[in-house]
Amino acid sequence: MKFLVLLILLANPVVASEHRVIEDAERQRDIPIQISFPMDVSSCSAENKCPVAFLNSGYGVAYDKYSFLSDVLNKAGYLVVAIQHELPGDPALAVKGHLYTERSENWKRGATTLKFIRTQLQSEFSGYDFNKLTLVGHSNGGDIGSWLFNEGVDFAETLITLDHRRVPLPRHGSPSILSIRGGDFPADQGVLYTEQERSMFNACVVQIENAKHNDMTDAGPDWLKASISNILLSFISGQCNSEEKA
């Protein structure tokens, strides 16, 4: 049944989208974004706000290379904003030393960017709910989303990570959490929930058999993109598929 639902969604026409560059004058950053709209924009109004997802790419992957995720979310009624975090001139992501410490500057900068983009778009898109954001992120993008949640913001409600590995999932508040895991790289100690913590928090952690970390993009195999999409659809409809096999 879940594959039938996915096929029905994917059979719909391509949704509308637009690219922009938003200037953050204070930080001297020109931030590329892609905004893609829900299939039925007429249902979104100030009185009936549609949900919003911010999509954060993995390090070294362009912000608009996750269309398989944005398409599924658009067809489920979401406005999706894909954000380019790494810009020319930014320091390279550390690959040695204590990575949590060495990479924290990147995650802080990303969290600041998310807050800035929200402020810039919220008044323009009055038919969408920027006070209950869903943050979706692959790898380092998932770390950025986790970092923002751990700052204790009150405008983000749902966190979805694709094989993020460094920043611990939130241990406070009551966010809705989905973390989809690959099989070739483990997360650092303390990043994921223990079995006891899973029962304490509203969390769904799904291991995909044979999934590789670097394949969780548009360039990945079709079976993996379909599997991730099915898990995502189940989650936003209120279900947790605890196991997913190829």
Q: 218 and 67 in contact (C-beta within 8 Å)?
A: yes
Domains annotated on the chain, with CATH: 2-244 (3.40.50.1820)
Q: What is the block-wise mean pLDDT of the chain (246 residues), using blocks of 10 residues?
A: 41 73 98 97 96 98 98 97 97 94 97 98 97 98 98 96 98 93 95 90 92 98 97 95 55
Residue 41: phi and psi, rounded to 5, are -70, -20
DSSP assignment string, 100-111: HHHHHHHHHHHH
Sorted by sequence, the CB contacts under 8 Å of residue 61 that are 6+ apart come out as 138, 139, 217
User: Inter-axis angle of helices 140-150 and 99-122, to 10 degrees?
Assistant: 80
pLDDT at 212: 97
pLDDT at 102: 96
